[in-house]
């Protein structure tokens, strides 16, 4: 059950583990009282080793494996359809899961909501921030992280490493969260050199391997020499950029193993913080928070270790900025600031820290970003 | 890197045509052979994805991308044989079997491909036709993979072969009139079985190109429907192998248009640019169709034309 898509390689392993689980179910052989264990279910929309969104969640789930009293069930490649309801139902009924993390954005409405109504004793926490106290069941909830600050730090390193003063961003869709990341990446670079520009290319889909590769080629052809992205699986972007000789900054999880020489740093989710917090509450029998958010300073987001190519001045400014951010309250979007059509976003003295509610409906690209949202 | 400005657009279209077209070339050539024999195999998308997985897995295990391509061809031929075998029974609909095999191929590729998402496979070699140039962008655009060249040669060979060889004649006769073929002492079922297997092997090479060269990694969403589009390209190309090659190039180039235009600052309406290949196909289909006559060049035995 932990792994529906059984590979040849792991078949033996899984069978062995299955046998062990079977034994654990028999009271005489059980090392842990079954009643005391909390079973936690994780559901992923893609493979959990995709070097991206799903891997970030799976790494967070792994942190729970070490916790006493927690049983983990996971399922990959669950589409955002009624399939995810079936998965949740079987995790609750067959595996005895009492806490579920359906991690993909599209799982929430209507699937998580329907299951939360159907199983009032189980707890559902969904990644994305969609939970609304006035409308949604109290056994559901949302958690999310502010990762734009990570892209800002990516930008700081990119600003130092770019020789052409042109950096590139491969983006999926022009939604607020993606636009915040693009803006932060450019503003980070501009904190180093205010003449830097960032070219953004929207592919229109969260996962479109060939178009992502084409986008990287087009960016490099136009002179961009540091590339980052916001797509579900950054693997293709990182590999293509490194092959073309450009530096890359990662996203979601660490892609350093794919391009050890060209990888500078990356904005990674640190979901272990969130998941172990929920697990501790669940084990202690306390109510789980319905709404959780945090950024770099809360340990929800982390940076990949700096790569070997990063120069000393870049390292210094990166570390200084990181220390500043960790104090809390740091604002990337602050006045005077214009968007790339010349309209004023923030007047002098006005600042939007990452927690600002305005940033959840961002629809602009800041001055210096070459691109358009439609 | 030099600033090439607007020259980036034609260069990207050329480079994109070369980079992106190869899977289209192989799948459409394979399908052209199958359809010329009078059968439609809609399952090539599944064959393509399975070929991508098989090539990647074998390349990881053996360290040689060429063994990967061979493995993909064998697997693709296997899928083709299954399709041909099932369709050899009376009153079996080849389109329905194709759709079933497409889903089967994709599912099987996910099943076996799980452990190969993380490892890196050795890529297929490319030849630098742009090495004469000092401009890095030109060198990158003209970095041509050997499979692309093989595909171009194969298109020519098939075009010549259909006209001038006995095998070509046999395939065409079976595709145009099964009765005439039987009168000549040929077995349409056997010919179609091999034609479908051949088509499957070619489609799987297209998959190998995806996973071993461009974009060059295996994951479950590596193909965004290239296999299905290539089947449509065959009709667009009127079952002519040279036409398949040209249509694939056109599709590849048009696909590169969206990112390239955004990179030079034409950013409004990029969704429309992404639709360019499909709009182009629609326009050409409308321009060349006629209510009065059958599709020119269509094999007479195809279930869609009967």
Q: Compute the average pLDDT of residues A217-233.
A: 93
- Closest CB from B16, B117, B221 relative to A209: B221
ipTM: 0.88
Is residue A125 domain-shared with residue A205, that is, in the same domain? no
Cα distances (angstroms) measured from residue B150 to each of A220, A319, A333, B146: 28, 51, 52, 6
Q: Minimal CA–CA distance to B12: which of B241, B306, B254, B215?
A: B254
Residue A358 lies in a domain: yes
Contacts of A239 in chain B (CB under 8 A): 215-217
pLDDT of A32 reads 41
In this predicted structure, which of A4-18, A172-186, A193-207, B23-37 has the lowest mean pLDDT?
Answer: A4-18
Number of domains chain A contains: 2
The pLDDT of residue A22 is above 80: no
CA A227/CA A237 separation, integer angstroms: 8
B11 touching A, CB under 8 A?
yes
Q: Which residue has the tokens 């030849």?
A: B127
Residues A274 and A99 sit within 8 Å (Cβ to Cβ) = no
Instruction: Judge if A244 and A356 occupy the same domain.
Output: yes
Which residues 96-155 of B have a C-beta within 8 angstroms of A? 110-112, 114-115, 117-118, 120, 137, 140-141
Shared domain for A174 and A201, answered yes or no, is yes
CA distance A8 to chain B (A): 7
Taking residues A239-255, what's their average pLDDT? 95
| Amino acid B294: pLDDT | 62
Residues A337, A250 share a domain: yes
B1/A240 CB distance under 8 A: no
Whether A222 and B224 lie within 8 Å, measured CB to CB = no
Q: Please give the average per-residue pLDDT across A171-197, as a whole number.
A: 95
Contact B112 A220 (CB under 8 A): no
Residue pair A292/A141 in contact (Cβ under 8 Å)? The answer is: yes
Residue A154 sits in the same domain as residue A141? no
What confidence score (pLDDT) does residue A36 get?
A: 54
Quick one: pLDDT at residue A33? 40
Q: What does each of the 306 residues of chain B score in pLDDT, given as a tens digit?
A: 566 677 778 888 888 889 999 999 999 999 999 999 999 999 999 999 999 999 999 999 999 999 999 999 999 999 999 999 999 998 899 999 999 999 999 999 988 998 898 888 899 999 988 888 888 888 888 889 999 999 999 999 999 999 999 999 999 999 999 999 999 999 999 999 999 999 999 999 999 999 999 888 888 788 888 888 888 889 888 899 999 999 999 888 888 888 888 888 887 778 888 888 788 778 877 877 766 666 667 888 887 655
Q: Which of A49, A203, A243 sits opposite B117 (nearest CB)?
A: A49
| Residues comprising chain A, all counted | 374
CB distance B56 to B236 below 8 Å: no
What average pLDDT does the segment A82-87 reach? 95
Give chain A positions within 8 Å (CB) of B15: 217, 221
| In a shared domain, residues A253 and A343 | yes
Tokens standing for B105? 């191929």
Residue numbers of B between 180 and 219 with CB closer than 8 Å to A: 210, 214-217, 219
Which residues from chain B sit within 8 angstroms of residue A46, using beta carbons? Answer: 219-221
Same domain membership, residue A92 and residue A174: no
Could you say which of A93, A122, A145 is where a domain stops? A145
Shortest distance between the Cα of B58 and any Cα of chain A, in A, equals 14
Cα distance from B268 to chain A (closest Cα, Å)? 6
Closest partner CB to B260 (pick from A10, A203, A218): A218
> Tens digit of pLDDT for each residue in A111-169?
999 999 999 999 999 998 888 889 999 999 999 999 999 999 999 999 999 999 999 99
What is the domain-level CATH number for residue A214?
3.40.50.2300
Q: Can you give the residue range of the structural domain that contains A80? A: 37-145
pLDDT of residue A168: 97
Question: In this structure, is residue A326 part of a structural domain?
Answer: yes
> Same domain, yes or no, for A53 and A97?
yes
- Cα B271 from chain centroid (whole Å): 25
What is the least distance, in Å, from the CA of A114 to any CA of chain B? 28
Please check whether residue A278 lies inside any domain of the structure. Answer: no
Write down the pLDDT at residue B223.
86
**Together in a domain, A75 and A161:** no
Task: Kindly list the residues from chain A whose CB atom is less than 8 angstroms away from the CB atom of residue B224.
Answer: 205, 208-211
Nearest to A221 among B110, B258, B263 (CB): B263
Residue A294: φ, ψ to 5° = -175, 170
Q: Are residues A138 and A83 in the same domain?
A: yes
pLDDT tens-digit series, residues A258-273: 999 999 999 999 999 9
A15 pLDDT above the threshold of 70: no
Interface-testing mutation among B114, B116, B130, with chain A (most A C-beta atoms within 10 A): B114
Q: What's the confidence (pLDDT) of residue B292?
A: 64
* A213, A312: one domain: yes
Q: Do B270 and A370 touch (CB under 8 A)?
A: no
**pLDDT reported for residue B305:** 59
Q: Quick one: what percent of chain A has pLDDT higher than 70? A: 90
The shortest CB-CB distance from B110 to any of A5, A205, A236 is to A5
Which among A6, A47, A213 has the least Cβ separation from residue B220? A47
Cβ burial, residue A114 (10 Å; 0-12/13-18/19+): middle
Cβ <8 Å between A214 and B20? yes
Last residue of a domain, one of A145, A166, A191: A145
DSSP A125-187: -EETS---TTTS-TT--EEEE--HHHHHHHHHHHHHH-SSSEEEEEES---HHHHHHHHHHHH
On whether residue A18 sits in a domain, the answer given is no
A348-363: pLDDT as tens digits? 989 999 888 889 889 9
Q: Is A187 a member of any domain? A: yes
Residue A19 falls within a domain, yes or no? no
Q: Give contacts of A212 with chain B, Cβ < 8 Å.
A: 215
- Is residue A294 a part of any domain in this protein? no
Contact B256 A51 (CB under 8 A): no
Alpha carbons A84 and A116: distance in angstroms, whole number: 13
Domain stop point among A119, A145, A171:
A145
Query: Using the beta-carbon criterion (under 8 Å), do B8 and A77 form an inter-chain contact?
Result: no
Angle at the Cα of A63 (from A310 to A147), degrees rounded to 5?
Answer: 45
Q: Do B117 and A50 touch (CB under 8 A)?
A: yes
Q: Which residue of A has its CA nearest to B11?
A: A221
In this structure, is residue A357 part of a structural domain? yes
**A16 has pLDDT over 50:** no
- Strand runs labelled E in chain A: 38-43, 70-75, 97-102, 123-124, 126-127, 142-145, 166-171, 197-202, 226-230, 247-252, 263-269, 291-294, 301-303, 331-334, 337-338, 344-346, 351-353, 369-370
Helix (H, G, I), strand (E, B) or coil at A361: helix
Do residues A181 and A234 both lie within one domain?
Answer: yes
- CA-based nearest distance B121→chain A, Å: 11
For A198, nearest residue in chain B (alpha carbons): B263
β-pair type (A123-124, A126-127): unpaired
**What is the pLDDT averaged over residues A172-192?**
95
Residue B254 in contact with partner chain A when CB distance is under 8 A: no
């Amino acid at each position: 059950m932990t792994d529906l898509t059984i590979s040849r390689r792991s078949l033996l392993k899984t069978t062995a583990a299955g046998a062990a689980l079977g034994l654990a179910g028999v009271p005489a052989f059980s090392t842990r009282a079954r009643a005391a264990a909390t079973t936690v279910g994780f559901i992923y929309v893609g493979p959990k080793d995709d070097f991206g969104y799903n891997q970030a969640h799976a790494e967070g789930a792994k942190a729970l494996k070490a916790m006493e009293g927690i049983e983990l069930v996971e399922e990959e490649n669950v589409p955002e359809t009624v399939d995810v309801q079936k998965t949740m139902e079987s995790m609750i009924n067959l595996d005895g899961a009492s806490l579920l993390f359906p991690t993909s954005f599209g799982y929430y409405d209507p699937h998580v909501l329907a299951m939360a109504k159907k199983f009032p004793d189980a707890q559902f926490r969904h990644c994305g921030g969609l939970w609304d106290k006035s409308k949604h069941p109290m056994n559901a909830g949302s958690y999310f992280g502010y990762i734009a600050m990570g892209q800002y730090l990516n930008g700081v390193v990119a600003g130092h490493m770019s020789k052409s003063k042109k950096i590139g961003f491969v983006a999926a869709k022009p939604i607020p969260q993606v636009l915040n990341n693009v803006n932060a990446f450019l503003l980070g670079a501009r904190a180093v050199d205010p003449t830097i520009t960032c070219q953004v290319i929207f592919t229109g889909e969260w996962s479109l391997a060939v178009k992502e590769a084409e986008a990287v080629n087009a960016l490099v052809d136009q002179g961009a020499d540091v590339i980052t992205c916001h797509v579900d699986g950054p693997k293709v972007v990182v590999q293509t950029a490194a092959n073309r000789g450009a530096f890359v900054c990662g996203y979601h999880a660490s892609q350093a193993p794919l391009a050890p020489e060209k990888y500078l740093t990356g904005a990674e989710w640190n979901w272990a913080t969130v998941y172990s917090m929920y697990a501790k509450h669940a084990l202690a029998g306390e109510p789980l928070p319905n709404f959780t958010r945090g950024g770099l300073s809360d340990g929800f987001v982390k940076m990949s270790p700096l790569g070997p190519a990063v120069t000393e001045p870049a390292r210094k400014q990166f570390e200084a900025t990181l220390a500043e951010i960790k104090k809390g309250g740091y604002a990337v979007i602050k006045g005077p600031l214009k968007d790339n059509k010349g309209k004023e976003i923030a007047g002098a003295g006005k600042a939007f820290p990452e927690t600002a509610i305005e940033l959840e409906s961002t629809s602009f690209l800041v001055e210096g970003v070459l691109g358009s949202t439609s | 890197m030099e600033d090439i400005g607007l020259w980036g657009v034609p260069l990207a279209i050329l480079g994109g045509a070369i980079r992106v077209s190869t899977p289209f070339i192989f799948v459409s050539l394979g399908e052209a052979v199958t359809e010329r024999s009078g059968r439609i195999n809609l399952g090539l998308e599944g064959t393509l994805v399975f070929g991508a997985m098989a090539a990647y897995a074998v390349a990881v295990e053996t360290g040689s991308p060429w063994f990967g391509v061979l493995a993909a061809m064998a697997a693709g031929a296997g899928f083709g044989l299954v399709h041909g075998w099932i369709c050899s029974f009376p009153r079996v609909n080849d389109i329905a079997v194709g759709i079933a095999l497409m889903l089967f191929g994709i599912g099987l590729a996910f099943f076996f491909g799980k452990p190969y998402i993380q490892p890196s496979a050795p890529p297929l070699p490319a030849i630098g036709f742009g090495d004469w140039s000092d401009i890095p962008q030109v060198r990158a655009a003209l970095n041509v993979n050997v499979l692309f060249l093989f595909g171009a040669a194969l298109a020519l060979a098939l075009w010549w072969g259909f006209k001038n060889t006995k095998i070509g004649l046999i395939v065409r006769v079976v595709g145009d009139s099964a009765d005439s073929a039987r009168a000549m002492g040929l077995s349409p079922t056997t010919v179609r079985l091999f034609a479908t297997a051949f088509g499957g092997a070619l489609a799987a090479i297209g998959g190998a190109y995806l996973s071993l060269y461009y974009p060059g990694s295996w994951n479950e969403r590596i193909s965004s429907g290239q296999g299905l589009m290539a089947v449509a390209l065959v009709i667009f190309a009127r079952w002519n192998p040279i036409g398949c090659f040209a249509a694939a190039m056109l599709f590849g180039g048009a696909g590169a248009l969206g990112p390239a235009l955004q990179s030079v600052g034409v950013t409004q309406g990029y969704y429309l640019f992404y639709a360019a290949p499909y709009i182009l196909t629609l326009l050409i289909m409308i321009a060349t169709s006629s209510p009065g006559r059958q599709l020119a060049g269509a094999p007479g035995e195809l279930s869609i034309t009967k």
